[in-house]
Amino acid sequence: MTVSAARILRSVPREEAFYFFTSIGNYTGQSAASLDEFLQKIKDVNIKSLEFHLYREDFERWIDQTLGDAKLAEEIKDLRNMKVVGNALRDRLYFAVSRRLKDLKSAAPSSK
């Protein structure tokens, strides 16, 4: 558990980072290379971007396939199935990611 938590919490190279778009080909300039950074970005990024990626399944794909966190990916999939939009989406996404981050950080080996 501790090893996989550390793996999920790692920073990935820039070519594997998550890039926030608002629609096809329209990049906001915001990107996240770790789950920590992802949490910070979903707080501020254009709401259109959150809706665009959620319904394209981009979030769950990146979290599952790049970071390796199937559990959080499943929670995000649930949000998609509930068809959450707007600020409610931002709040629920933020809540799900921050709760998962807290769990992972308490399980990961200390960096000290």
Residue 21 interacts with another protein (CB under 8 A): yes or no: yes
In degrees rounded to 5, what are phi and psi of residue 59? Answer: -65, -50
Nearer to another protein by Cβ, of 27 and 55: the residue is 27
- The least distance separating another protein from the CB of residue 37, rounded to whole angstroms, comes to 14
Q: Is 27 in the site for another protein (CB under 8 A)?
A: yes
Contact by Cβ (8 Å): 94, 43 = yes
C-alpha closest to that of 41 among 94, 79, 77: 94
Residue closer to another protein by CB (options 31, 40) is 31
For residue 71, give both structure tokens.
């559990």
Query: Is there binding between residue 17 and another protein (CB under 8 A)?
Result: yes
Stretch that binds another protein, among 13-21, 71-79, 90-98, 100-108 (CB under 8 A): 13-21
**Contacts with 32 (C-beta within 8 Å, 6 or more apart), sequence order:** 17, 18, 20, 38, 40, 41
Residue ranges that bind another protein, judged by CB under 8 A: 14-15, 17, 19, 21, 24-29, 31
